Structure 1
Amino acid sequence: MPINIRSLAAIALYIIFTGCFATQPVDELRAVQMQPFGRSSVNEQQDLELISSASQVGFSFEGTTCNLQVSLPAWLHHNYLQYELDGVYQKRIRIDSASNKPVIITAPKAGKHTVWIYKATEAHTGAIILHSARAKHIQALQRPAAPLIEFIGNSITCGAAADASEVPCGAGVYHDQHNAYMAYGPRVARALGVNYIMSSVSGIGIYRNWNSDGPTMPQVYEKADFNLQSKQTWNFSTYTPQIVSIALGTNDFSNGDGVHPRRPFDSVAFVQPYIQFVQLVKTKYPQAQIALLSSAMLHDQKRALLQNCLMAVKQQVDALFPSAKPVALYFFEPMQARGCTGHPSVEDHEILANELLPFFKKLLK
């Protein structure tokens, strides 16, 4: 019987390819199998949308590379992820809507590795959509059990305008300098070994925003993406924070953009909605310790006035909830911020975090 050379070649290729896949299987982790932490949602296509600042997913894999398939909403040009590899922060990753190439994460050597992917930008920047991750023996990770802190705030809490290492201040678009991972809240949480979620929106305030009358944080807090027009509300039973940190007021004190009419700051208009907002938070997390933070960006008379307002909020909330833990207050030292547009830089956030550490450490006890 004559030997068919083409058949032999085909058999040889089959053996080579099946041998490779037998020794180096590539597994797929679908979005619905991931265990997100932070505000997120699963869309109609069964893909995972990371919504809030520093919302995150983790997985382990073996080998040296893993591929992450991601996309953006049609209206969004680009956005940013950032990641840890084996517990060490690596970098931000720009995601462009025009590209469908997977994000490739490379480890320096073979073996088992862990990766945590974080959304670098805030909710109003738009969601980052995760479809799947592929790697050898890839498995979803959950956040380790630990106390939880929710950080409610504005652009400072977001880590907005903090990182000009890739796009200089004044260039690009607003979210090009976002770095949620390096903001003060996540830094505090990592230093204390606790978990965190971030509920923050640039420019937002308690009774007015930096250049408008709203919508304010009390109006959008219950919306999953902090968008007043959104039909999707957030399920507050998803997490049970031990501490809820609220850092609002900087934008209420703003002089505005010089275009829209701006009245002088009104203490009564600030204090009453703040009390109501704390009451709202308490309906979501009845056992949580409430902590009110001032603003390191305010100085002199504005700084003193905000502190007085926060003391008034504490006094009235404590009177309304006499059996609850008293509201905790922290007043930042004034700072001359070195980031973009008057915001704290990545280095400034480290200063803020170090300043806050003893305060939160005491509250956790």
Structure 2
Amino acid sequence: MRSGWTREVVIGLACSVLIAIVALYVRPCPARPVTPVPQIALAENTAFSARLVPWQQNLGPLPAAITGRAAPGPDGGYRHEWPAFHAVARFEGTSVSLRFDDSLSRWRVDIDGSAVEISRPGLRDLLIEGIKPGRHEIRAEKISESPGPALFGGFFINDAGRDLAPPEPAPRLIEFIGDSDTVGFANTAERRDCTEDEIYAATDTSRSFGPQVARALGADYRIIARSGIGLLRNYGGADPERTMGQLYPLALPADPQAPALPQRPADIIVIGLGSNVFGSPLDPQERWTDNSDLARDFGPALADFARARAQENPGALVVLLGFGEYGPELVEAHHRAAALLDERGIANRLVVLDKPQRNACLWHPSASDHAMIAEALLAALKDTAQGG
């Protein structure tokens, strides 16, 4: 009886393993991001039409509310490089145009809840026609990461339209400072092996954890982030003179002399800058011998960086965001930074994340990871939901 029972168990286990192996190979792989990205893509059931045309003459500019780090461009436009630059305006009429000199970026343009996306529009206007008569709100947002500056020239209407005052700003602004995870690098992808074009197609900063948190709190958001960047060091020790400490004050990282346009102070500042510091091996030529040595410098450096941001944004709450998967040294350094901020009387919260799945391109956070990160931040900010 015992030997027969054993044979049945062994046969059953062997069958289970065989089924699992077959399922592994039969299961379809996640779809690749669609490339190339269409230059113009209208959402389904959109009533209006959209096309790219040469810059038009005899149009009137619409007053707009602008959010994001930028420098002045020609004729009242905006030069931008940091992620998530966005603009909102209102008008009355059946057509509207958006002006670009941009061979780099992807944009989503929303009118009354219907959207059109454009990719690398170049030196052209996006002409949107066939809008139902009446009053409208239009929002344009850069959803890709830019390797250099580009121009958003603003919104324009013809003589048949009428400009209206832009909407009042949200009661609060949250600034998110970080690296590719904050950018939303390839966050809509469902696989890790991606080409450069697929990464471009899969990145949507507006769907990253920062905008999710801001929308949940009824706030606006500004994102100062860059792939590969860190505070004391960048990923792999690259560009040691271009860490976030050096680039943060700049309106345009690629044009250090560009003057920054005035911007609204932030009410909450979320800083996630440790992953690239601890996420790659130290080079023998770097000044740290190991991660413990690096952690001793990183904690005070993070506290100093956070204090400078708090001084620039009086009364702002600082949130230190640590990706705990990068090791105990990162976590220890974040706790040290939080303690130093406490000693200096700077209001702060510390959020150390559980290990995300990182199923998107090149092991970046996926859509579900960004939702998890947003939930963790919202839990830390729950007592601020009414502005407290």
- TM-score by length of structure 2 reads 0.73
Question: Partner letter of residue 204 of structure 2?
Answer: N
Tell me how far apart the structure 2 counterparts of residues 233 and 267 of structure 1 sit (CA, whole Å): 35
Q: Is the 8 A contact 1:85 1:107 kept in 2?
A: no
SS of 1:53's equivalent in the other structure is coil
Identify the residue that residue 104 of structure 2 maps to in structure 1: 78
The percentage of counterpart residues that share the same residue type is 24
SS of 2:359's equivalent in the other structure is coil
Aligned length: 321
1:279-300 Cα deviation digits (max 9, x unpaired)? 22123123211110112xx52x
Tell me how far apart the structure 2 counterparts of residues 316 and 284 of structure 1 sit (CA, whole Å): 18
SS of 2:109's equivalent in the other structure is strand
Q: Is the 8 A contact 2:96 2:155 kept in 1?
A: no
Identify the residue that residue 313 of structure 2 maps to in structure 1: 285
SS of 1:36's equivalent in the other structure is strand
* Counterparts of residues 120-199 of structure 1 (less than 5 Å): 120-122=143-145, 124-134=147-157, 136-164=161-189, 169-172=194-197, 175-199=200-224
Identify the residue that residue 69 of structure 1 maps to in structure 2: 99
1:191-223 Cα deviation digits (max 9, x unpaired)? 111121111111111100012134111111111
SS of 1:331's equivalent in the other structure is strand
Identify the residue that residue 247 of structure 1 maps to in structure 2: 272
Q: After TM superposition, give the deviation of residue 255 of structure 1 in Å.
A: 1.8
Q: Is the 8 A contact 1:58 1:140 kept in 2?
A: no
Q: After TM superposition, give the deviation of residue 277 of structure 1 in Å.
A: 0.9
SS of 2:231's equivalent in the other structure is coil
Identify the residue that residue 200 of structure 1 maps to in structure 2: 225
Identify the residue that residue 52 of structure 2 maps to in structure 1: none
Question: Partner letter of residue 88 of structure 2?
Answer: G
2:87 maps to 1:57: yes
Q: Is the 8 A contact 1:150 1:241 kept in 2?
A: yes
Equivalent residue for 1:215, pick from 221, 239, 242: 242
Q: Is the 8 A contact 2:68 2:86 kept in 1?
A: yes
Question: Partner letter of residue 220 of structure 1?
Answer: L
Equivalent residue for 1:39, pick from 47, 53, 69: 69
Question: Partner letter of residue 104 of structure 1?
Answer: L
1:247-297 Cα deviation digits (max 9, x unpaired)? 111101122699x989643112322321221222123123211110112xx
Tell me how far apart the structure 1 counterparts of residues 245 and 299 of structure 2 sit (CA, whole Å): 13
- TM-score by length of structure 1 reads 0.77
1:304-344 Cα deviation digits (max 9, x unpaired)? 3322111101111221x23x42x211111211112211112
Tell me how far apart the structure 1 counterparts of residues 114 and 86 of structure 2 sit (CA, whole Å): 13
SS of 1:61's equivalent in the other structure is strand
Question: Partner letter of residue 180 of structure 1?
Answer: T
Equivalent residue for 1:307, pick from 331, 334, 343: 331
Tell me how far apart the structure 2 counterparts of residues 62 and 118 of structure 1 sit (CA, whole Å): 21
| Structure 2: gaps of 5 or more residues | 1-56
2:381 maps to 1:360: yes
Q: Mark the CA change 1:330 to 1:291 in structure 2 (over 3 Å): closer, same or farther.
A: same
Q: After TM superposition, give the deviation of residue 190 of structure 1 in Å.
A: 0.8
CA RMSD of aligned residues (A): 3.1
| Structure 1: gaps of 5 or more residues | 1-25
SS of 1:49's equivalent in the other structure is strand
SS of 1:218's equivalent in the other structure is helix
Tell me how far apart the structure 2 counterparts of residues 53 and 142 of structure 1 sit (CA, whole Å): 22
Tell me how far apart the structure 2 counterparts of residues 155 and 40 of structure 1 sit (CA, whole Å): 20
Identify the residue that residue 338 of structure 1 maps to in structure 2: 359
Tell me how far apart the structure 2 counterparts of residues 162 and 360 of structure 1 sit (CA, whole Å): 23
SS of 1:272's equivalent in the other structure is helix
Q: After TM superposition, give the deviation of residue 63 of structure 1 in Å.
A: 4.2
Tell me how far apart the structure 2 counterparts of residues 153 and 315 of structure 1 sit (CA, whole Å): 21
Tell me how far apart the structure 1 counterparts of residues 381 and 150 of structure 2 sit (CA, whole Å): 30
Tell me how far apart the structure 1 counterparts of residues 116 and 352 of structure 2 sit (CA, whole Å): 32
SS of 2:210's equivalent in the other structure is helix
Identify the residue that residue 20 of structure 1 maps to in structure 2: none
Q: After TM superposition, give the deviation of residue 132 of structure 1 in Å.
A: 4.2
Tell me how far apart the structure 2 counterparts of residues 35 and 223 of structure 1 sit (CA, whole Å): 21
Tell me how far apart the structure 1 counterparts of residues 220 and 369 of structure 2 sit (CA, whole Å): 22
Q: Is the 8 A contact 2:199 2:361 kept in 1?
A: no
Q: Mark the CA change 1:92 to 1:253 in structure 2 (over 3 Å): closer, same or farther.
A: farther
Tell me how far apart the structure 2 counterparts of residues 271 and 179 of structure 1 sit (CA, whole Å): 31
Identify the residue that residue 224 of structure 1 maps to in structure 2: 251
Q: Is the 8 A contact 2:351 2:376 kept in 1?
A: no
Tell me how far apart the structure 1 counterparts of residues 359 and 375 of structure 2 sit (CA, whole Å): 17
Q: After TM superposition, give the deviation of residue 177 of structure 1 in Å.
A: 3.2
